[in-house]
């Protein structure tokens, strides 16, 4: 399936599956006429690591060259919690992070997205310190890693950190190799965390806040997701573009914001339902918003 309308000058894609091989994520992105994509480099729901074979890397390289897609990011396992107060879980998280950084480096993927983690009732300050320490140690252990780690904004469910821009900035201040760390802005999470995006003035205020507290130059990936839940609900439920509590206007602002033009935009919305191909629908919806 090839789309007729080719997006120009905009880095837009979705999270695609690696079922059947890592290269399949790139091939699928290409079929959807994407110029960017996100993928896992292993099964994200288990601790089991995946060692890449020479063939894995070769096939991936080939698919990437054929597709011409350069803007690729990976998403780390959901199990990783660098803020964990449990020694075992923390060490395991650090090791898993090292493996992720190495696999992504081997594949030539420049950015790895990670959720900062949950402090599990031990308090914000200690949690933020553990996150920074975990990242610092991971980069120390694998100095050959060539990819950047992007901390994602979160909805703030439970004791999850990263729902305030100030928390993300606090982690960044404690990072030793600042060149190796950046940020990922998820529209659903930011909205659920209480930052409004629905009207021009509230959108501007949110982007201004992000710029003042973190800095737009550190923004490397945007996750474009509508939200099933309301402003400040702190519940992370992704919805199709324009069909949720955020609404279509916010996405029009984002798709046409010159400050965000060079930042890849990735969909993480529900995929297929019966015969409906929602990736195609959501990508078309976003492309149609671009007014040039
Ligand atoms: Zn996300």
The H-assigned helical ranges of the chain are 23-31, 54-67, 87-106, 124-141, 165-174, 187-192, 200-213, 248-255, 278-289
Distance (angstroms) between ligand 1 centre and the Cα of 186 equals 5
Distance (angstroms) between ligand 1 centre and the Cα of 163 equals 12
Q: Is residue 50 part of a domain?
A: yes
What total number of domains does the chain contain? Answer: 1
Residue 147 sits in a domain of what CATH number? 3.20.20.150
Q: What is the pLDDT of residue 8?
A: 63
Q: Is residue 31 part of a domain?
A: yes
Distance (angstroms) between ligand 1 centre and the Cα of 65 equals 26
pLDDT single digits (tens) 55-96: 999 999 999 999 999 899 999 999 999 999 999 999 999 999
Q: Is residue 203 part of a domain?
A: yes
pLDDT single digits (tens) 143-199: 999 999 999 999 999 999 999 999 999 999 999 999 999 999 999 999 999 999 999
Q: Is residue 127 part of a domain?
A: yes
Q: Is residue 3 part of a domain?
A: no
Q: Please give the structure tokens belonging to residue 195.
A: 């930052």
Distance (angstroms) between ligand 1 centre and the Cα of 156 equals 13
pLDDT single digits (tens) 198-250: 999 999 999 999 999 999 999 999 999 999 999 999 999 999 999 999 999 99
> Facing residues of 224 across strands?
267
Q: Is residue 255 part of a domain?
A: yes
pLDDT single digits (tens) 98-131: 999 999 999 999 999 999 999 999 999 999 999 9
Domain that holds residue 144: 12-289
Q: Give the sign of the dihedral formed by CA 278, CA 279, CA 284, CA 287.
A: positive
- Cα distance between residue 194 and residue 205, in whole Å: 12
Q: Is residue 175 part of a domain?
A: yes
Q: Is residue 84 part of a domain?
A: yes
């Amino acid at each position: 399936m090839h789309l007729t309308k080719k997006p120009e000058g905009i880095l837009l894609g979705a999270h695609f599956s690696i079922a059947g091989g890592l290269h399949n994520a790139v091939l699928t992105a290409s079929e959807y006429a994407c110029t960017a994509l996100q993928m896992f480099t292993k099964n994200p729901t288990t601790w089991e690591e995946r060692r890449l074979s020479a063939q894995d890397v070769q096939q991936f390289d080939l698919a990437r060259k054929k597709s011409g897609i350069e803007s690729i990011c990976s998403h780390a396992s959901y199990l990783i919690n660098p803020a964990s107060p449990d020694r075992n879980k923390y060490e395991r998280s650090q090791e898993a992070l090292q493996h992720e950084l190495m696999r992504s480096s081997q594949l030539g993927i420049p950015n790895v997205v990670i959720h900062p983690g949950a402090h599990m009732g031990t308090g914000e300050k200690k949690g933020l310190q553990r996150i920074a320490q975990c990242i610092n140690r991971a980069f120390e252990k694998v100095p050959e890693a060539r990819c950047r780690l992007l901390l994602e904004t979160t909805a703030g469910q439970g004791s999850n950190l990263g729902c305030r821009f100030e928390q993300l900035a606090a982690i960044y201040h404690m990072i030793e190799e600042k060149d190796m760390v950046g940020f990922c802005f998820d529209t659903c999470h930011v909205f659920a965390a209480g930052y409004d995006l629905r009207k021009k003035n509230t959108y501007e205020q949110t982007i201004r806040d992000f710029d003042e507290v973190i800095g737009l130059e550190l923004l490397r990936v945007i996750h474009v997701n509508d939200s099933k839940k309301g402003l400040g609900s702190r519940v992370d439920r992704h919805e199709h573009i324009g069909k949720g509590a955020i609404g279509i206007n916010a996405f029009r602002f984002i798709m046409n914001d010159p400050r965000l033009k060079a930042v890849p935009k990735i969909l993480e919305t529900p995929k297929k339902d019966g015969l409906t191909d929602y990736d195609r629908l959501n990508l078309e919806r976003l492309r149609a918003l671009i007014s040039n």
